[in-house]
């Protein structure tokens, strides 16, 4: 009988000591949950960035490290950052694919600007392209090929996403 009372006293003291902690946890549950959600989203963003960098590394290839690269080419003042080129490509790609009812001059200018940004992205990533040399259907095929290579390199374009959606149906 004495052991039972001792256990109950110890249990009561333990509960009394833990009660303030439990109250604090209940009061701060929203803040703790918010911090946990932020930590998870930051982890996902870092993971996404690492995946994008890995895709770009694969697109450039391991042989890029062994060949002679002129780093001054990457340090030109007129060179746009790849992120800006990708953002402009996405914007122009959306305008290009949704140009229903627009004037032919506007649509032609949009396509020319889009091709210019495709060439800039290919130069930045070392991808061969032939957009200036081709016309007509051949140019369209080359544009799709280049979009696919850029997509594989980690640059998601509206046209590439639309084509993937059609293929998955």
HSE value, Cβ hemisphere, 13 Å, CA-based, for 120: 18
- Say if residue 163's pLDDT is above 60: no
Using CA atoms, how far residue 131 sits from 9, 109, 112, 140, in Å, is 83, 15, 10, 9
pTM of the model: 0.48
Q: 138: which 2 tokens? A: 């051949």
In 3-state terms, the chain is what percent helix, strand and coil (to 5)? 80, 0, 20
Q: Quick check: helix, strand or coil at residue 1?
A: coil
Tens digits of residue pLDDT in 77-86? 566 777 888 8
User: Is the alpha carbon torsion for 145, 155, 54, 36 positive or negative?
Assistant: negative
pLDDT in tens, 87-130: 888 888 777 777 666 777 777 888 888 899 899 888 888 888 99
The total number of residues shown for the chain amounts to 169
Nearest partner of 147 among 60, 101, 86, 74, judged by Cα: 86
So where are the chain's domains? 2-59, 70-167
Cα–Cα dist 27/23, whole Å:
6
For the record, the structure tokens of 169 come out as: 């149906």
Long-range contact pairs involving 140-145 (C-beta distance under 8 Å, separation at least 24)? 143/115, 143/118
Q: How far apart are CA 122 and CA 5, in angstroms?
A: 79
Q: Comparing C-alpha atoms, which of 166, 96, 89 is closest to residue 129?
A: 89
- pLDDT tens digit string along 16-71? 898 888 888 888 888 888 888 889 999 998 898 888 877 777 766 655 454 555 55
């Amino acid at each position: 009988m004495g052991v039972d009372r001792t256990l109950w006293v110890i249990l009561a003291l333990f509960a009394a000591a833990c009660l303030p902690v439990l109250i604090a946890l209940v009061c701060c549950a929203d803040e703790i949950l918010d911090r946990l959600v932020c930590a998870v989203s930051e982890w996902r963003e870092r993971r996404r960035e690492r995946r994008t960098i890995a895709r770009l590394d694969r697109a450039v290839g391991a042989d890029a490290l062994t060949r002679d690269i002129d780093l001054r080419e990457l340090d030109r003042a007129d060179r746009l950052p790849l992120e800006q080129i990708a953002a402009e490509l996405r914007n122009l790609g959306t305008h290009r694919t949704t140009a229903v009812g627009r004037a032919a001059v506007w649509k032609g200018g949009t396509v020319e600007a889009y091709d210019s940004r495709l060439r800039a992205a290919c130069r930045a990533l070392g991808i061969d392209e032939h957009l200036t040399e081709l016309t007509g259907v051949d140019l369209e095929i080359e544009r799709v090929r280049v979009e696919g290579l850029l997509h594989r390199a980690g640059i998601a374009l509206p046209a590439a996403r639309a084509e993937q959606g059609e293929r998955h149906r």
